[in-house]
Amino acid sequence: MRRFTFGPALTMRGRKNKNLRGLAGKPFHPPLTDVPITAYLFAAAFDVLSIAVHSSHGVLGRQFYVAGTWTLLGGGAVSLLAALTGWADWHRSSEPGTQARRTINAHAITMITVTVLVLVDIAIRVLGNADDAYTPAACVVLSVLAGLLVSMGATLGGSLVYDYGFNVETAGDHPVWHKNETDVYPGHKSSA
C-alpha cells in the first residue's frame, strides 16, 4: 500500500482561476497571513527582549530593537497583500446575514486594527526613534498589543476555515477519502 504522495496537492493544472482569491483549492489569503502573524509575534518578543536586556547588554538591546523594526516592516508589507486577498474573499465568497459573514467582519476589523497599530509603530520607529539604544516604551506597547490582537484575529480566521469550512473546496464525500492506490488530480474524475 502506498503511504506517501504529494503530486495532486502541488498540481495547478485543472484548478479554476479565481483571480485575487487564488486557484480552486489553493487560495491566496491563508498562506499570506502566516507572514504578518509570525512577524508581529516576533516583533513583540524582540521589543520585550530589547527592554529587558538593554541595561546589562546595551548593544544587544539595540540589535533587538532593529530586528523588531525590520520584522514589522516585512510583516506590514505582506499584510497589505493579505488584506487585498481577504477583501476579495469577503466580497466574492461570503453572503450577508450569515454567521460566517459576521465572523469575517470581526476578523477583518481586528486585522485592520492590527495593521493600523503596526503602521503607527513603524512610523514612530522610523521617523522619531531610529537611533535609540533600545525599543521605546510606546513601541513596546504597540507591538505587544498588535501581537495579542493578531492572535485573536488569527483565531477568528482559523474558525472560518476549520469550524465553518469557509472557502474550502472539498467537503463531504470525495474520492480522495476512498481506499484506492490512484491519485485524484484537480479537474479529473476518479477511476475508482
Local confidence band at 182 (pLDDT 50, 70, 90 cut-offs): confident
Over residues 82-99, the mean pLDDT reads 88
CA 142 to chain centre: 19
Local confidence band at 75 (pLDDT 50, 70, 90 cut-offs): very high
Question: Measured between alpha carbons, how far is 190 from 175 in angstroms, rounded to an integer?
Answer: 6
Q: What's the confidence (pLDDT) of residue 35?
A: 95
Mean pLDDT of the chain: 84
Over residues 113-134, the mean pLDDT reads 90
Over residues 74-99, the mean pLDDT reads 90
Question: Measured between alpha carbons, how far is 30 from 36 in angstroms, rounded to an integer?
Answer: 11
pLDDT in tens, 18-29: 676 766 666 778
Instruction: Look at the pTM and tell me if it is higher than 0.85.
Output: no
Residue 156 pLDDT exceeds 80:
yes
111 vs 54 pLDDT, higher one: 111
pLDDT in tens, 131-150: 788 889 999 999 999 999 99
Reported for 61-67, long-range contacts at CB under 8 A and 24+ positions apart, including other chains, are 61/133, 61/134, 61/135, 62/132, 62/133, 62/134, 64/134, 64/135, 65/125, 65/132, 65/133, 65/134, 65/135
